[in-house]
């Protein structure tokens, strides 16, 4: 594929795509995408293909009723992993359903996604989510290779304005994503009750450490947990507070 192009999906929506090879090229890439003006930024990390069926409907509702409308209201950029699965699919579909206009940027390692005319190096390669507006494709063939890039791009997008990470469900790679968020000194909101890694982090915030990887992350003081099954309004309030 070319270093930049426009992809049109089966839903007749299009996205601008840029491929980068070095972190030093990020500023130019975001300029090429028209995303070089500082904006508050919301980074989404968490579950892709292994969210339980029982959690999916609840999470879809949270994205449709809370996260997407709030992103629209605040005029933020939302950045995530960009593939057509899990929370990335939920935010993409929610943005389209509310007729959102906020930029939705997917950051994916080029060897993990299926692209027109490009042979994938990964047997588990995934489709890009077709409701995203922009994509940055970064080097790598393995899931998780995009993790430091996603965090770095979040910092580039905000350029000193507020940014926050939302942790929803998640597996092994989510630990990397949260560690990168902490490294960037970006606060993170953990959705307690959303399953898996998010629940382990939420438990650790209550002093119940079941995975030692949570210890240093909690000690950073940057993590906050919200049980959205009990109080979705509290999630909206906390996101709004952190991005204002």
Name the domain count of the chain: 1
- Residues 189-233: pLDDT tens digits? 999 999 999 999 999 999 999 999 999 999 999 999 999 888 888
pLDDT of residue 230: 80
Asked if pLDDT for residue 154 goes beyond 70, the answer is yes
pLDDT of residue 120: 75
Instruction: Work out the pLDDT band at 4, boundaries 50, 70, 90.
Output: confident
Q: Quote the CA–CA distance of 179 and 119 in Å, as a whole number.
A: 31
| DSSP E strand boundaries for 64-208 | 77-80, 104-109, 134-138, 163-168, 188-192
pLDDT of residue 83: 97
C-beta of residue 242 within 8 angstroms of C-beta of residue 187 = yes
Instruction: Work out the pLDDT band at 1, boundaries 50, 70, 90.
Output: low
pLDDT of residue 55: 87
For residue 212, give the CATH number of its domain.
Answer: 3.40.50.450
pLDDT of residue 215: 97
Q: Provide the β-strand partners of residue 134.
A: 16, 105
Asked if pLDDT for residue 66 goes beyond 80, the answer is yes
- Residues 161-197: pLDDT tens digits? 999 999 999 999 999 999 999 999 999 999 999 999 9
Question: Alpha carbon 220 to chain centroid distance?
Answer: 21
Query: Percentage of the chain surpassing pLDDT 70?
Result: 99
Query: For residue 232, what are the domain limits?
Result: 4-243
């Amino acid at each position: 594929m070319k270093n930049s192009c426009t992809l049109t999906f089966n839903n007749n929506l299009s996205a601008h795509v840029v491929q980068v090879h070095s972190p030093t090229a990020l500023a130019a890439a975001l300029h090429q995408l028209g995303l070089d003006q500082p904006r508050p930024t919301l980074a989404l990390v968490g579950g892709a293909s292994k969210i339980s069926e029982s959690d999916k409907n609840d999470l879809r509702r949270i994205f449709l009723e809370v996260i997407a409308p709030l992103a629209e209201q605040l005029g933020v950029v939302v950045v995530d992993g960009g593939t057509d699965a899990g929370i990335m699919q939920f935010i993409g579909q929610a943005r389209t359903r509310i007729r959102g206009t906020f930029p939705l940027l997917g950051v994916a390692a080029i060897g993990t996604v299926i692209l027109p005319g490009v042979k994938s190096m990964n047997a588990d390669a995934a489709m890009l989510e077709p409701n995203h507006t922009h994509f940055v494709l970064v080097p790598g063939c393995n899931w998780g290779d995009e993790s430091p890039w996603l965090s770095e791009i979040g910092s580039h997008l905000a350029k000193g304005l507020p940014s926050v990470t939302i942790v929803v469900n998640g597996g092994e790679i989510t630990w990397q994503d949260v560690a990168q968020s902490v490294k960037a000194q970006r606060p993170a909101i953990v959705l307690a009750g959303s399953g898996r890694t998010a629940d382990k982090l939420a438990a650790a915030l209550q002093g119940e450490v079941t995975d030692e990887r949570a210890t240093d992350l909690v000690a950073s003081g940057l993590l906050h947990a919200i049980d959205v099954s009990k109080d979705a309004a509290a999630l909206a309030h906390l996101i709004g507070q952190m991005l204002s």
